[in-house]
Structure 1
Amino acid sequence: GAMRSRTEVDATLQTAKLNPAELLPVVHCLSFGSQAGAGECCLLQLEPGLCAELEAGRSLVIRGEKHEQAVLCSKDKTYDMKIADTSNMLLFIPGCKTPEQLNAHQASCNIIHSQIVGFSNNYWELRRCRPKLKKLRKLLMEDPYEGPDSQKDQTFSKYTTEDLLNLIQASEEEILHQLQVLDACKIEGYWRILEFDYEMKLLNHVTQLIDSESWSLSKVPLRTCLEELGSLEPR
C-alpha cells in the first residue's frame, strides 16, 4: 500500500491515545516485502561470548547425524539446541534502528519506511551441555592398532581429525582433549588406540631399555629411547 504521511501517523497516535511528546519524533513505518515469509530464516539466541566468537570471524558448527539431537559447537564448547516459541511475532527488518540509535533531536517529520523481509514465531535457544564423547572411544575401538606388521583385514574405518569432527557431537578442543584421555595416537594421519597386547609389548621394550641403560624412571631421554627402539618398532 501507499506509504504513510506524517499526518496519518499523528492521526493514528491520537486514535491510540498516545501523547507524541512522550515518544521519539522519528517513526518507523513497516511494510511487508514481496518475499517476506515464515521459515526462510532461523533465529538463534546467543550469549555474549558466542556473539564475540562470530564477530571475531570464528565459526559455530551444528553437529549431529540424522538420528541424533543436533548440538551447536564453538571451538571449545558444546550446546544443546532447543526451539523456544514466542507469543510475539519476531520480525526481520534489515537496517532497523533501535531507539538508542535514533537521534531524539531529528526533525519531527522524519519517517523511516522499513520493509519486513521475514518473520518467525520461534527461535533456537542454546544451553551449555556436556560433550557427547562416548561414541569416540567406540569408533576407535572398532579397529585397535596392533602394530605396523598387522595384516588385519581392513573392514573397519579409520578416522582422521576431520572425520571425528563430523561424527562426534563435541567441540574440536573437547574432542582433542578426550583423545589425550584415551591415550589415542595419530598414526599415518589416523587416530588409533593401541591394542592392549601391543601396548604391553611396547611398554616391555621401554622398561627393558631403561633397565639396561640404568636410567631414572623420572628422566627417560625420549630421543635416545626412540633411536634405540627404532629397529624393534618403527616410528
Structure 2
Amino acid sequence: MDHNLRFSTSSNTDQGSYKLLELPPELYKLLEESLSSEGGPSASSFYIKGQPGEDAVLCTQDKTYAIRSVSLSNSILVVTSPPDSDVSSESEDNSFPNIIIRDQLHEILELTQAIPKLHKLNTLLKGREYGEDEEDNDDGMNVEQVHDGSQDIRDFTYTDAQAMIQASEAELNRGLRERRILRINEILRPISSSYLNKIIQFILNTLAALSLDHDSVPVEKLCTTLADEHDVPRIVSVQVMGWFGSVSELEGRWKMEVDAVVREAGLGILKDAQDRSLDRDNLISTWKDLVGDKFASSVSLDLLAGNYLIAPAAPYSDHQVVKYFSISSLPVDPAQRFADLFLTRSKWKNEDIVPFLSDIAVNSKERDKMLLKYARATTNAEGVWYTSRAQYNG
C-alpha cells in the first residue's frame, strides 16, 4: 500500500526522544503474558535504575539486566500516524495516507542478565551495625539514630535501598537476608557478627533445654525465652528465625533450616579466629560441640565454601589448617577479583576457586568464560588447576 512519508513539524524536538529496546525471550514472554491476562494487563513491571555516574540497568520483579547500546549499520525510522495538527493541507497526493517520521535511530538497547549490584550495601551501611549493647526503645531496638563515634549518621531506609541499589525487589530482599541486615520500622541495620553468633548459640541452647522440635518451634515461646533470659528483642529474634528457616505466621511455628544454622555457627568460629589459622580437626571438633550432638552430623567444611582457605600445616604434611578468607572481602570487578585470588594463591584447584566466583557470575556458563579469560587451566592426576594469565607482583 502506498503512503506519503513526511517529516514531523516537530522533528527537531522529537530527535533523540525514542529508544529501541530489544527484549530477550524471557522478558518478551513475561510482557506478552502480562498484556494478555484476563481483566487487562497484570502487575508485571519493569524499572530502569541507576544513579548519576552509573550504567543504567533494567529490573523486573526478580532479575536485573545490564543495558548495552549496540550500533546499527542501517538507520531505523520511527513513524506514526499524524495528529490533525501535523497534516499539511498541501499534501502532494491526498489520496494516500500520511506517515510521519518522528525520529531516526542508529542504535538499539540490548539487555543481558546481570549480577545485582548489592555490594553497595556494604558501603552504605558501614558504621550502622546493630550489636548487643544497643539501648532498647519501645520496639526493643534503638533505631532513631545511629552513631559512629561522635558523628551522627542519617538513617538508611528500605526505600533508600530500593532507589539506590541496582537490583530487583526479590534480589534486594535476598541480599538483605544473606547479608544479615535487620529491617525495623523500614530502617536497615546490619547485625554484628559477634551478636548474631550469640543469638545462634542462644537458640540452639533453648531448643535443647526445652526439648523443642527444630522442625516445628513455637515462635512466641522461643521469642519470649530469648527476650527474658538473654535480652534479645522480639523484633530481632523473629527476623533471625526468618534468615535461618521458614516462619509460618498462620501456625505461629518456625521450621529451622539445619544446614543454615550449622553453617552460621561454623562461620562464627572462623571469624573469631580470622587473624590466625585453625587446626582442621580442632575446628571440626569445636564446631560439633557448639551445635550439639543433635546437629553434629551436619557439620562439614563444604558448608563454609567461599569463606575459608585450607592448606597443609607444613610442607609435605598431611595435617591441615583452615584460615578465614571471605568472598565478601574480594573486589566485585572480575579482573580485580582474579588478581586478588592469584595474589593470595598462585595456583588454584577448580573446586577451590569456583566458590569465590559465585557472586560475580550469573551462571556457570558465564563463570567458565571468566576462567577462560583470566586463568590458564592445566590438568594432572589431582584434577584441574588454574594459574593466572597475567603476572601480579605481590
**TM-score scaled by structure 1?**
0.71
Matched, 1:75 2:61: yes
SS in 2 for 1:66: coil
SS in 1 for 2:162: helix
Matched, 1:31 2:6: yes
Match of 1:160 in 2: 157
SS in 2 for 1:34: coil
Match of 1:234 in 2: 233
Q: Read off the aligned partner of 1:153 and give its amino acid letter.
A: H
Q: 1:63 aligns with which of 39, 49, 53?
A: 49
Matched, 1:126 2:111: yes
Q: 2:17 aligns with which of 32, 40, 45?
A: 40
**Gap runs ≥5 in structure 2:** 36-40, 83-93, 136-141, 235-394
> Aligned in 2, Cα 1:216/1:128: closer, same or farther, shift over 3 Å?
closer
Matched, 1:221 2:218: yes
| 1:110-189 pair list within 5 angstroms | 111-147=96-132, 148-149=134-135, 153=147, 155-189=152-186
Contact 1:27 1:110 in 2 (8 A): no
User: How far did residue 230 of structure 1 move?
Assistant: 3.0
Aligned residues: 198
**Gap runs ≥5 in structure 1:** 1-25, 97-108
SS in 2 for 1:128: strand
Match of 1:15 in 2: none
> Aligned in 2, Cα 1:50/1:34: closer, same or farther, shift over 3 Å?
farther
SS in 1 for 2:166: coil
Identical amino acids, percent of aligned pairs? 28
Distance 2:146 2:79 in 1: 60
Contact 1:54 1:60 in 2 (8 A): no
User: How far did residue 30 of structure 1 move?
Assistant: 0.4
Query: What's the Cα RMSD here?
Result: 2.8
> Aligned in 2, Cα 1:138/1:227: closer, same or farther, shift over 3 Å?
same
Contact 1:36 1:119 in 2 (8 A): no
User: How far did residue 224 of structure 1 move?
Assistant: 0.7
Distance 2:67 2:223 in 1: 47
Q: Read off the aligned partner of 2:23 and give its amino acid letter.
A: L
Contact 1:53 1:59 in 2 (8 A): no
**TM-score scaled by structure 2?**
0.45
Matched, 1:205 2:202: yes
Contact 2:77 2:105 in 1 (8 A): yes
SS in 2 for 1:210: helix
1:171-190 Cα distance to aligned partner (Å, 9 max, x none): 11111122222232222222
User: How far did residue 195 of structure 1 move?
Assistant: 0.9
Distance 1:158 1:49 in 2: 40
Q: Read off the aligned partner of 1:220 and give its amino acid letter.
A: V
